[in-house]
Structures are given as structure tokens and as C-alpha cells.
Amino acid sequence: MSELSLFLGCVAPNRYPGIEAATKKVFSKLGIGLVDLEGASCCPAPGVFKSFDKLTWLTLASRNITLSESKKDDILTVCNGCFSTLKDVNDILKEDVNLKKDVNLKLAEVGREFKGTQDVRHVIEYLYQDVGTDKIRDAITKPLNLKVAVHYGCHLIQPLKESHVEIAENPTFFDELVEATGATSVDYEDKISCCGAGGGARTAILDSTLKMAEKKLQHMTEAGADCVVNACPFCHLQFDAGQAEINQKFGKNYHLPALHYMQLLGLAMGFSPEELGISLNAMDTTKFIEKVKMDTLKSKICITAN
């Protein structure tokens, strides 16, 4: 049986632990081994740290990778930022012997060595490429009657593009995974656009990044979406906490629940919204949760009636 190492990052465990809980539940239901990558730190985040000091960024990221090198299988991330950093660093160090030497000199001081035996995977592309939508469909017990606005996020696509993975060109893989839950992925303007949070921009210039997120929220709402589904806890934060900020700062009234794909899949596998942490969002999700529960009830009645 495979055993992936779960790299948590910062925002999922420390702001949206529902995403962590959902990931663990979903993988156990799929029968795929997933163990915590104990002792991991911040990836470190590509926006700030990569641009502050590349060697520090490489060193800390490679330490995270070494934690998994004693394990049989690859590292799994549930975050676009972590994916971008860890995959980038892993690929750079596998290629560049001199940089690898520099980094290993530092790692030696803490008794570690980067070997380059692992790959770094993002949960979305992993599920699509290695598990497949058929197997996902088979694991679903409560097909969802939802209209979903899919948000890929820049740093899910870009690292795949750089490794010339075919699915990254005019991507549909995330939509297909969403539709495997029974939900419909709605088309909306500027779908591939940025949520605004990345690159350290949210920290630097909040209001402008909120305007970027607002544009997306507006297009998603116009498309009749019941929720926005993302692949990244930081995009998730921008669409959830950021949505509350948009409403408050700009006097708007958006009410589009944000779910990480792990939470959406969890719902379709029959886990309750509460145990997936959907009710812990900054935005009120009561109505959404009611709708999901009503739909499940209706389909139960249908099944008994038949």
C-alpha cells in the first residue's frame, strides 16, 4: 500500500484546520495511506521568502523534503504555495549539483542531507493523474447537487506547466474532479485569474488584493454558483476571510461559501459539514449547510420511495 507524507504548511493547520481534517478523512476513505510529515516547517512561502533570500528558501524547503526521504512515497501538499515552493526546490536541487552542495553543507549542520529521491505532489493533480475520476466517483455515497465555481489558483497551474505536464494547458482536470462528486462546475469570466493573495501582496497591499478577489466573487455569483471551491488554503482564506473584509470595507453583501476541494469531496463521501470544518469559515455557511443536508435528505427519500 502506498504511503504519502502529508505536508501541511501553515494556513491549513493554523487557520483552516477543517482542510486538514477533511484531507485525512478523504484519504482514509479512499484507502490511500497518508502520514503526517512530522516536524515540517513553513514550506517556506514562495512570495516572501523566495524573493527575500533564495538560499534560505532553498535550505528550509530542502529540510522539509529530507523529512520525507526516509519514507517510501512522495510528499503530498494540499496548498498551491507549498506545492510551488517544494516542487520548485526539489526540481532545482535535483538539477543543480552546485546548489545542492551549498544546501547540503548547511543541512549537514543539523545532520541532514538532501538526496533527491522524492517527488512533490499536489493533491488535485495527484487525485486526477494517479487515482482517477472513476475511482473518486466510486467512493461517493452522497452525490452533490451543487453549482460550483472552480478556482484553480496560479500556483497549481504554474509548477505543472514548468514540468510540461500536459493537463496544465487549458486545464479541465480540477473541473472534472469537482464533477465527479455529482456537482456541476459552472463557467465564469476570468476563471483562471488570480485571487490576489499570492506573492506577499495580501500582506503588502490588502485593499488592492481584495478588489481582485471581489471581481472573481462577482463573476462567480453572476454565474449562479452555490460555492467557490479551491485547491489552496491561502486562496481559501482570501475568498473566505477576504470576502468578509470586502463586505465590511466596501459595503458589499457577498455570501459565497468557500470550500477546499477536500471538503467538497468529504461532503460527497458522506462526512458531515461540521466534521469537515465547513461551519468554521469566517463567512456564515448556515444556508449552504442546510441546502446540502436537505439535498441529502431528498435523495434518501427518493431512494426509499423507489
Taking CB under 8 A as the rule, does residue 275 contact other proteins? yes
- Phi/psi for 258 (5° steps) reads -105, 130
DSSP state of 192: T
Taking CB under 8 A as the rule, does residue 8 contact other proteins? yes
Name the grid cell of 234: 491561502
Taking CB under 8 A as the rule, does residue 257 contact other proteins? no
Instruction: Rule CB under 8 A: choose which of 4, 42, 127, 144 binds other proteins.
Output: 42
Round to whole Å and give the CA distance between 234 and 12: 8
**Which segments of 49-153 does DSSP mark as H helices, in order?**
51-52, 54-66, 80-95, 97-108, 123-126, 133-138
Residues 127 to 166: which contact other proteins by CB under 8 A? 154-155, 157-158
Taking CB under 8 A as the rule, does residue 242 contact other proteins? no
Strand ranges of the sheet holding 227-230, from the earlier edge strand across to the other edge? 184-185, 147-151, 227-230, 258-260
Taking CB under 8 A as the rule, does residue 196 contact other proteins? yes
DSSP state of 20: H
Round to whole Å and give the CA distance between 64 and 90: 10
Rounded to an integer, what is the distance from CA 196 to the centroid of its chain? Answer: 16
Taking CB under 8 A as the rule, does residue 39 contact other proteins? yes
Residues 88 to 107: which contact other proteins by CB under 8 A? 106-107
Taking CB under 8 A as the rule, does residue 10 contact other proteins? yes
Residues 55 to 74: which contact other proteins by CB under 8 A? 55-56, 59-60, 63
Q: Which residue is listed with cell 490511500?
A: 32
- Shortest Cβ distance from residue 287 to other proteins (Å)? 21
Pairing of strands 147-151, 184-185: parallel
Whether the Cβ atoms of residue 148 and residue 184 lie closer than 8 Å to each other: yes
Rounded to an integer, what is the distance from CA 14 to the centroid of its chain? Answer: 15
Q: Which stretch binds other proteins (CB under 8 A): 181-189, 191-199, 216-224, 290-298?
A: 191-199
Residues 279 to 298: which contact other proteins by CB under 8 A? 280
Name the grid cell of 150: 472552480
Q: Which residue is listed with cell 477576504?
A: 242
Instruction: Rule CB under 8 A: choose which of 89, 177, 183, 212 binds other proteins.
Output: 212
Q: Which stretch binds other proteins (CB under 8 A): 8-16, 134-142, 220-228, 262-270?
A: 8-16
Instruction: Rule CB under 8 A: choose which of 4, 11, 150, 156 binds other proteins.
Output: 11
Residues that bind other proteins (CB under 8 A): 8, 10-11, 13-15, 17-18, 20-21, 36, 38-42, 44-56, 59-60, 63, 106-107, 109-110, 112, 154-155, 157-158, 193-194, 196-201, 203-205, 207-209, 211-212, 275, 277, 280
